[in-house]
Amino acid sequence: MSTSKTNVNDASPMQHSLQQAQRQLNDYAAAVMQSGPGRQANAALAVSQSPATTSRRTFLAASAAAGSFVLVMNSQNGDAAQVQDSSVATENSFNPDLFVSIAPDGTVSILTHRSEMGTGIRTTLPRIVADELEANWDDVNVVQAIGDKRLGDQNTDGSNSIRFFFDRMRVAGATTRTMLQQAAAKKWGVAVDQCIAKENHIIDQKSGKKIGYGELVEIAKTLPIPKADSLKFKPKSQWQYIGKDAPIIDQDAILTGKAIYGIDARMPNQLYAVVARPPVVGGVVKSVDDKDALSTPGVEQVLQIPAFKGAPLFQPLGGVAVLAKSTWAAIAGRDSLDIEWDLGENADYDTDAFAKTLAEAAHQPGKVMRKAGDAPALIEKAAADTNNRVLHADYRSPHLSHAPMEPPCAVADVRTENGQIVHCLIDTATQNPQAVQQAVSAALSIPPQEVIVNVTLLGSAFGRKSKPDYCVEAALLSLQAQRPVHVTFTREDDLQSDYFHTISHLHLQAAVDENGAPEALLARAAYPTIGSTFVAGADQPQAWEMEMGLTDIPYDIPNLQIEGCNAKSHTRIGWLRSVAHIQQNFALGSFIDELAHHAGIDPYEYLLTTLGADRQIDMKAAGLGNRGASHDNYPYDIGRLKNVVKRAADLSDWKRAGELPKGRGMGIACCRSFLGYTGHVVEVEVSREGKLTIHKVWVSLDAGLIVNPDRVKAQIEGATVMATTQARYGKISFKKGRSVESNFDSYRMVTMSDCPREIIADVVESDEAPAGVGETPVPSYAPALCNAIFAATGHRVRDLPLSEFDLSWS
């Protein structure tokens, strides 16, 4: 560990720390503005390169404390190799992706560097390694990595884990296996080709002799590292774990209550803290009377956290923290605080009024983000036609909150010696431990490697826990208290101090030919951008946001014009599961259905026809980023998109759609998101009084190669439930700058009675490159649901949530 130290007695460290954070996080902000969160292999933290840019991989062998054989994958070009202790994070000049450790006793340890929040990734990535290594899975020891930039991208966000690391995990396993085969051949004096690996042993095919991996450690450490292009990977027919169902390794601990989540983390002598944050983003404390709080039983200290400066970034909102012997005592103490706030410039934020501002913006020309042909001219010409050849519609979506079951929480211990910061230890539920290192190190003015981040299990996250403001709070409070401090957001804190999904207004116009086929489409999107969280004053959707279901439109429409309109942010805006696809696919997927009904054509047939011929969209020629992925490895394949539409339609027996009685209907929609493809069919029933019942949902997902099918199906089911909550009830509203909703009584979640009666998950078998899964099943659900409601009732839903829409019919 570095010995760099900072004097805590320097002038006003708390006052300058958040300004320092903003300076040190400029690179992060720039990367988000250019590419979007999760788009690159942690580009914002300047760590890993994508597999497509890695021309050769090198590994190093080193002795760990127990004499283990340790392989460290280096994602950079070249042959740099350094000795490293696999159990201790130390700074060096390369960025390893994964450690594989084999102890002399034969124990195989595999480091997992992503966060477990219900997706199964903590299990799935190590199984890829174990498969190539021919390790017995039941005997594998999976070790959770701390935050360390040498491990490559650790941000479990953007549905990128398998996409970024499938090939690299195979290389790690195959390299280890190859060297063990070479070691056995050397020991026995036989040809390497006759040595095969099986269940933690190397077997001589001719003599039948076998030897355990542990017995080969000493020889293997002396061997040269094989080049990546010399490795022989197992054929698909021999895969034991890849493509096979498997329970997550934490299942028993979770079921028996032994699993440790961030909210369970404890350090000796810790205090518990809750924070009274400004009720309006940008507000500051004018004065505070903490006398009653300090007299509350169990309360030990009341401390202030400075407000952020400039863009919010991952800085705390500021406020007054109550530190106590228990969270309950801290809450009681906080309730006793008498705080006078200066609410700042966002004190008048009212989402009802702002929705009108967004509507006005969307009805005025914006910045052209994609253009083909001359859509405005063609629409203007068609408008003069008396045959009703122009359609237009406006779609509105509200703010949403992440609302993870486990709210943000972290415990931090800032250690000092002789008035100097030595290091900061943090145990937390985080999706991105390296972002924690960056944000906390900036706030404490210490090097990132001095921030040691232990990753616990996450009680769901959905993007909220990749924004570590709560970790910075814990660290700043620990520095002042000089002991460990555990910060917990209450549910009210979580819903009122979130990085909210944006509010939006989309205006769409289309000109159709005499057969009802779209000849031109004009789309304008107005919503506060995520970029405003990272760059003060950013007021227009970023290119990567617009590419989530709008500029990357899949439909074969010759004349297109897609525009982004100005919208100022009045709260913190963040990414939430499926991000801008939420509002943009709702609008576009609904509008295509409107065009189908206008043309008098079956929506399924119209959808396929409008998607056009099987082809690959040239994203590069269209000026689109393709989520930072290689256009060769991840082409935009309309044939694959049409295939999932057809599969969902076939599974649902779509031909029934036109035969259903009034009050019952089926809707269809599709989407390419996070490089994967989904087709949705939803069947609903709506009573005359407007009671909605979602009978069945059919989801066909093509996410390329699948490692753990059971986890993928679980993700589809979970995405469906979450998307149902968003469509039926999801809404955060603001009055006088404050979030109106504060708990699950006002920010409602779906119950069993609200959920689809049945979810049929269809996972396409594919050998294509692995794509997104966690977020991919969300975007096409809401338009399919609302299209089904139209089919059942004749009510066209253009405003979410459904709870504010009268669905009754006669």
The pLDDT value recorded for residue 388 is 85
Segment holding 651, helix H or strand E:
helix 638-652
Residue 41 has pLDDT above 90, yes or no: no
Mean pLDDT score of the chain: 89
3-state secondary structure 386-409: CCCCEEEEEEEECEECCCCCCCCE
Tens-place pLDDT, residues 128-162: 999 999 999 999 999 999 998 888 899 999 999 99
- Per the CB < 8 A criterion, the answer to whether 592 and 555 are in contact is yes
What distance lies between CA 712 and its chain's CA centroid? Answer: 15
Which range is least confidently modeled, 20-24, 383-387, 534-538?
20-24
The pLDDT value recorded for residue 70 is 61
Residue 71 has pLDDT above 90, yes or no: no
Residues 455, 461, 462, 468: is their CA dihedral positive or negative? negative
DSSP 501: B
Residue 82's identity, in one-letter code, is Q
The region, left, alpha or beta by phi > 0 then psi within -120 to 50, assigned to residue 764 is: beta
CATH architecture of the domain covering 351-401+499-804: 2-Layer Sandwich (3.30)
Average pLDDT over residues 166-184: 93
Rounded-to-integer distance, Cα 488 and Cα 81, Å: 42
Tens-place pLDDT, residues 309-329: 999 999 999 999 999 999 999
User: Peptide bond preceding 558: is omega within 30 degrees of 0, i.e. cis?
Assistant: no
What DSSP letter does each residue of 249-294 carry, written as one string?
TTHHHHHTT---BGGG---TT-EEEEEE--SSTT-EEEEEE-HHHH
The pLDDT value recorded for residue 96 is 23
- With 0-12 / 13-18 / 19 or more C-beta atoms within 10 angstroms meaning exposed / middle / buried, residue 344 is middle
Residue 615 has pLDDT above 70, yes or no: yes
Residue 43 has pLDDT above 50, yes or no: no
Q: Is 179 helix (H, G, I), strand (E, B) or coil?
A: helix
Tokens of 165: 């690391």
Average pLDDT over residues 484-496: 98
Residue 64 has pLDDT above 90, yes or no: no
Tokens of 33: 């503005």
Rounded-to-integer distance, Cα 110 and Cα 143, Å: 6
- Per the CB < 8 A criterion, the answer to whether 475 and 443 are in contact is yes
6-35+261-345+408-488 CATH:
3.30.365.10
Tokens of 768: 């294509």
Q: Which of 14-23, 84-93, 443-452 has the highest mean pLDDT?
A: 443-452
Tens-place pLDDT, residues 361-393: 999 999 999 999 999 999 999 998 878 899 999
- Candidate CATH numbers 1.10.260.40, 3.40.50.620, 3.50.50.60, 3.30.365.10; the one for domain 43-252: 3.30.365.10
Long-range contacts of 206-212 (CB under 8 A, 24+ apart): 211/184, 211/187, 212/106
pTM here?
0.90
The pLDDT value recorded for residue 184 is 97
Average pLDDT over residues 456-474: 98
Q: Which of 348, 397, 498, 489 is nearest to 731 (CA)?
A: 397
Q: Is 467 helix (H, G, I), strand (E, B) or coil?
A: coil
User: Peptide bond preceding 801: is omega within 30 degrees of 0, i.e. cis?
Assistant: yes
Domain ranges within the chain, ordered by starting residue:
6-35+261-345+408-488, 43-252, 351-401+499-804
Instruction: Name beta bridge partners: 109.
Output: 101, 141
Taking CA atoms, 149 is separated from 4, 46, 90, 214, 707, in Å, by 18, 8, 10, 29, 25
Segment holding 330, helix H or strand E:
helix 327-335
Tens-place pLDDT, residues 249-308: 999 999 999 999 999 999 999 999 999 999 999 999 999 999 999 999 999 999 999 999
The pLDDT value recorded for residue 221 is 86
The pLDDT value recorded for residue 702 is 98
Tokens of 24: 């040190």
Tens-place pLDDT, residues 189-243: 999 999 999 999 999 999 999 999 999 998 988 888 888 889 999 999 999 999 9
Rounded-to-integer distance, Cα 113 and Cα 128, Å: 13
Residue 97 has pLDDT above 70, yes or no: no
Rounded-to-integer distance, Cα 156 and Cα 462, Å: 10
Average pLDDT over residues 773-800: 98
Residue predicted with more confidence, 770 or 87: 770
Domain 6-35+261-345+408-488 identical in fold to domain 351-401+499-804 = yes
Residue 59 has pLDDT above 90, yes or no: no
Residue with tokens 């759609």: 657
Residue 364's identity, in one-letter code, is Q
Tokens of 527: 């919503």
Q: Which residues contact 380 (CB under 8 A, 6 or more apart)?
A: none
Which range is least confidently modeled, 11-25, 480-494, 578-592, 672-686?
11-25
Backbone angles phi, psi at 483, to 5 degrees: -165, 165
Q: Which residues contact 237 (CB under 8 A, 6 or more apart)?
A: none
Angle between helices 781-793 and 709-728 (to 10 degrees): 50
